[in-house]
Amino acid sequence: RNNYTKNPKRVVCYLGTWSVYHKIDPFEIEDIDVHRCTHVNYGFAKIDEYKYTIQVFDPYQDDSANPWDKKGYQRFNNLRKVNPELTTMISLGGWYEGSEKYSDMARNPTYRKNFVDSVIAFLAKYDFDGLDLDWEFPGSRLGDPAVDATNFLELVRELKTAFEPHGYLLTAAMSPGKDKIDLAYHIKELNELFDFMNIMT
């Protein structure tokens, strides 16, 4: 699913799953044009602020644990049956998730390990091809420590190491603003670790 020989251009699409709740013209998973996108990111999963593990954001919409759940993850990954070359990712974070608990997780080696282990289990359980990090943004919100950028880099290193035996993709949604880039990212090092980065414009 990650072979770009035929078409090296990536078209990365994000699904904002809250769109299913729109009263006028809701957008469902099956509305995604799977032949226009090469990669689709399911937005969003979240972090548990006590255990620092990846969690389902909206169990009713996303999960399939109960008969009444809408099985969003399963339906999303089933899009690969329509286009076998499609890559499906879970995107973690988003603006409304905040930044504080990401800072707390990334600064603590034990919390980082808990998080990385939980991501591996999550990707296997729900059959995603990889993780897209959408922490908005390391070091750039009021009260965030200046060490966020270094901790973010260490988190990405640990995720990359854990992903390699499984073949999972690791990507991120990144700010295009120089003010945030200077605070949030060690670009040269991250460029060696991420499979690719999605620049928000």
In whole angstroms, what is the distance from residue 71 CA to residue 26 CA? 17
Tokens representing 160 are 């990359």
In whole angstroms, what is the distance from residue 187 CA to residue 172 CA? 12
Residue 53: predicted pLDDT: 98
In 3-state terms, what secondary structure has residue 140? coil
- If 0-12 CB within 10 Å is exposed, 13-18 middle and 19+ buried, where does residue 9 land? exposed
Per the annotation, the verdict on 136 as an active-site residue is yes
CATH pick for 12-199 out of 3.40.50.300, 3.30.1300.10, 3.20.20.80, 3.30.930.10:
3.20.20.80
Q: How many CA atoms lie within 13 A of 28 on its CB side?
A: 6
Mean pLDDT, consecutive 10-residue stretches, the chain (201 aa), reads 61 94 92 96 97 97 94 98 97 94 96 98 98 95 86 98 98 95 95 97 87
In 3-state terms, what secondary structure has residue 116? helix
In whole angstroms, what is the distance from residue 34 CA to residue 9 CA? 15
Q: Which of 136, 154, 158, 164 is catalytic?
A: 136
Residue 108: predicted pLDDT: 96
Domain ranges of the chain: 12-199
Residue 1: predicted pLDDT: 47
Q: What is the pTM of this model?
A: 0.94
Residue 7: predicted pLDDT: 59
